[in-house]
Structure 1
Amino acid sequence: MPAFAAYDGTELAFQVHGEGSPVICVPGGPMQDPVYLGDLGGLSAHRQLIMLNLRGTGGSAIPRDLSSYRCDRLVDDVEALREHLGLDRMDLLAHSGGANLTVLYAARHPQRVHRLALITPSTMAAGVAVTGEARLQAARHRRDEPWFPAAYAALEAVTSGRAAGGDWEAIVPFWYGRWDAEAQAHHAAEDEQRNDEAAGAYAGEGAFTPDITRAALAAFGAPVLLLAGEADVAAPPPAMAAFAELFPNAKLVVQPKGGHFPWLDDAGQFVATTAAFLG
């Protein structure tokens, strides 16, 4: 697996899928091995995907300073990868929690970003609120599923702050547009792919300064794609629309029947949308 040295000497790895002009891909989790992304439903047929293994995940080394897992400090790792690849500007794609990192990178290094694709992104870095009602509204797209009543009751408990027992596990089907064998296997693999210690530090105190980030994003002129899933309870469309408004040159696309992993739900639609944006 190719590797490079970060600013502090930590060896970081990345996987390469496909050929052509590269797209730097930042996984979510947070702090999850990018293996869960696969080749993003076949996007590698259109662009070369460079899958960054964040420090302490996948093939990357555990750093000596564990506080370097904090999201704002990971910005320097993305910059080190750009320098390693010899790119003047790069196309960035991030999923879920990884969007916080790419947004902070864009705010700090706007001249280094050519295009920015945010796939069902977390909004923590920018301070965009996600309401419980927006999550419930997205969930109601799944009302015809046999598991819906129990899962919806659990989601009501979670969004109202009454979560107990197995409620968090009960709502997992809502994360996928189809709760089939593929989705269940995808979810079952997550625990082994995530560095829980790193995930706990990712959003630690001082990681995010939303007012400063929002001001920077207002001046960020590069094209931005926000791809939302119609039924995604983690990043529901109303929050994604509010997120898109922070950028002067953003396009919001809502994938019909999509969940939090839209390349699994409808690979053809996902690839068509993303490849058209990336060019």
Structure 2
Amino acid sequence: MADDLTIDHLAHFLTGHRRVLVLTGAGISTGSGIPDYRDKDGTRRGPTPVQGPEFRKFEATRRRYWARSMVGYPTLARAEPNAGHRALADLAANGAIGALMTQNVDGLHQRAGSTGVLELHGNIHSVVCLDCHARYTRAFVQGLLDEANPAMLGATARPLPDGDAQLEPEAPASFHEPFCVHCGGMLKPDVVFFGDGVPAERSRRALALMDDADALLVVGSSLMVFSGYRFCRMAAAAGKPIAAVNLGKTRADELLSLKLEAPAERILPQLRDYLD
């Protein structure tokens, strides 16, 4: 259990500000069994993620992505919101926090009951055709993958972040990537890959949320990716206080007014109960 003084400090941070913007990262979903990208020192672990430009340019990169995703996605699809996700939904419903935006692509905030979530990096459960812009559920595309690659049905591998898996070899020579059933075009998960930028309209909305907020609460993010860290820089430049609930180092440690190094799924329910 977190001690009362720790919860008291965080509670006063929330009650002292009317519009607290919450930014979440992979650390809030580890309690749901979804691995994160970094260790407690903020160092990336595991293989290098697929880069967006390479995905669009090279068939081999797409085959690698879809082969690993075919094996890894079911683990992510089965993940359930944890107590941290549910506590944030409750805090929002009670008016204790304002807007919620996330770097995660797992959709667990919405499943926990949060509304109006701004997904900075998109949603892994949606797939788009880059040619005709048709949209599919990721579950539908999983069916295409199963049909085209029967030899891989039932394959298992160590889960990696965002539905990836440590598959060896990364893409068997016989693997077939999925294609759009309408036009035969290239399919891509509707997420922002590494090497790509957050879409301009989504970025504009996020910046407007930060501008409207009077404080920032970071939950489960090392902030090593600039798309999240920039909000801390904006808050600090505007004199808005920043608190964080995160296990380990963050890129913005020197900017924080308050930091709790504890699992979000443990701290956030205690915070909610404290404020009830």
Structure number with the higher helix fraction is 1
**Relative contact order, higher structure (CA 8 A, sep 6+):** 2
Highest Rg: 1 or 2?
Answer: 2
TM-score by length of 1: 0.28
TM-score (norm 2): 0.29
